[in-house]
Amino acid sequence: MLATRHQPIPAVIQQHAEESAVLRNVRSVLLSSPHVQLHRLRRLDDRIAAHLDGLAVAGEYGSKLSMFALETPGCGEVFAAGVGAIVDKDIQRIERLFAVAEAVPEAQAGLGSAFGWVSSQHLQGTVSQLLSSPSPFHRRIGITACAMHRVDPGAALDAAVKDPDSALRARALRTLGELGRHDALAAVRSALDDEDEGCRIWAAWSAVLLGDRGAALEKLTTVTQVSGPLRERAMRLALRAMDLPRAHEVLKVFAHDAKNLRTLIQGTGIAGDPVYVPWLIKHMEDLKLARLAGESFTFITGLDLAYLDLERKPPEDVEFGPNDDPNDDNVAMDEDDSLPWPDVPKITAWWAANSPRFQSGVRYFMGEPVKREHCLRVLKEGCQRQRIAAAQYLCLLQSGTPLFNTSAPAWRQQRWLAKTN
């Protein structure tokens, strides 16, 4: 009887391992989603935690199963195995995870998110060893762990800014901005001329968060003019940090090239000047741009199109992502998949009735001018993209403010938010 009772366990534990990995990858998408609020993220995080608990309860069998999944390592597999190894403080498993992550760069984010997931008490000892390691990669993950928990690594972080390893320098420069280390602004500014492009961009990004509206902001603005992996991130912060006249100039540059139309639509919503609303409503008539224009409209006005019945049904026989046609070479995902379809006549009527309360030449964010109390409310109640923007505004409004981590486990975010006022 006893053997029979335990027969289903391997299949159940296998499911825990697989679901932990899959849901972690789902989470990474939802973290920047335009439709996910913190309470929904909490539900997903509770599911992930339940599967991780299932692996932990299985003991050695669970840890072996999660480590076996590293034969085909991805971010999710490294995350699931990493959480258990870190909590257990199993040096052998941790060393194998680092070897896998260093050999498979695309899986490194999974290791970082494992350190960000576990509670801080489980990091004691482990992170200090990473920060003092001779390996630049180990020190980089150690700094990443501290950044995710918004804990200052101190001297190890200051030394990393000058390290010969460019990836470590870039992570250190980014962390100084995330922690609100205003005392390190001079060191960050000195990296604006770093030989490595990534370091230069992260130095500019952090310096702007820390209050630099001169050379750093110009450097960040330059990044927005050319394609690259950090272009959108640079654009979002730069447009929020600069005054409206300068933002209008940058948007005019985007307008010179038709290839920048999506960027331009995003940029108008970030700039927040209601003078752009009629132009956005016009682009809602273009099926390829309608949902994106609707999102920018929301960023300015604060309207929830779905909640206020200002959305329409999706158009029939129109697909913007991959489909079942074997002759269609388009495999790109629909960038606006989770955004509502705006109902142009209804929105036009709403704007005609409500535009007088919006003043041209004033920056609006989610329906109101940018102020601390409003940004805190959006951080608590808004969707992820809106919350990311609110967190940045809080830093820009008062330099030296740590950047709220909207990627942290939802229960930790809720605890942090409960302490704000």
Q: Where are the alpha helices (DSSP H) in 161-196?
A: 166-178, 185-190
Residue 107 carries which DSSP code?
G
What mean pLDDT comes out for the span 25-53? 97
> What does the pLDDT read at residue 2?
40
CB-based contacts of 364, cutoff 8 Å, min separation 6: 272, 273, 274, 300, 301, 302, 358, 370
CA–CA dist 119, 368 (Å, integer): 36
Neighbours of 125 (CB within 10 A): 9
Evaluate if pTM is beyond 0.85: yes
Domains of the chain: 1-143 (no CATH), 151-228 (1.25.10.10)
Task: Summarize pLDDT for 337-354 with one digit per residue, the tens.
Answer: 999 999 999 999 999 999
Q: What is the DSSP string of 52-92?
A: HHHHHHTTHHHHHHHHHGGGS--HHHHHHHHHHHHHHT-HH
Q: Which residues of 58-91 are buried (b: 16+ CB within 10 A; e: fewer)?
A: beeebbebbbebbeebbbbbbbbbbbbbbbeeee
Higher pLDDT, 1 or 257: 257
pLDDT score of 318:
73
The C-alpha atoms of residue 42 and residue 59 are separated, in whole angstroms, by: 26
Cβ neighbors of 418 (< 8 A, separation 6 or more) are none
Q: How many CB atoms sit inside 10 A of residue 46's CB?
A: 12
pLDDT tens-digit series, residues 159-207: 999 999 999 999 999 999 999 999 999 999 999 999 999 999 999 999 9
Provide the b/e sequence for 202-213 (b: ≥16 CB within 10 Å): bbbbbbbbbbbe
2-29 per-position pLDDT tens digit: 444 444 488 999 999 999 999 999 999 9
Q: What is the dihedral of CA 398, 400, 404, 407, to 10 degrees?
A: 130
Give pLDDT tens digits for 144-159: 999 999 999 999 999 9
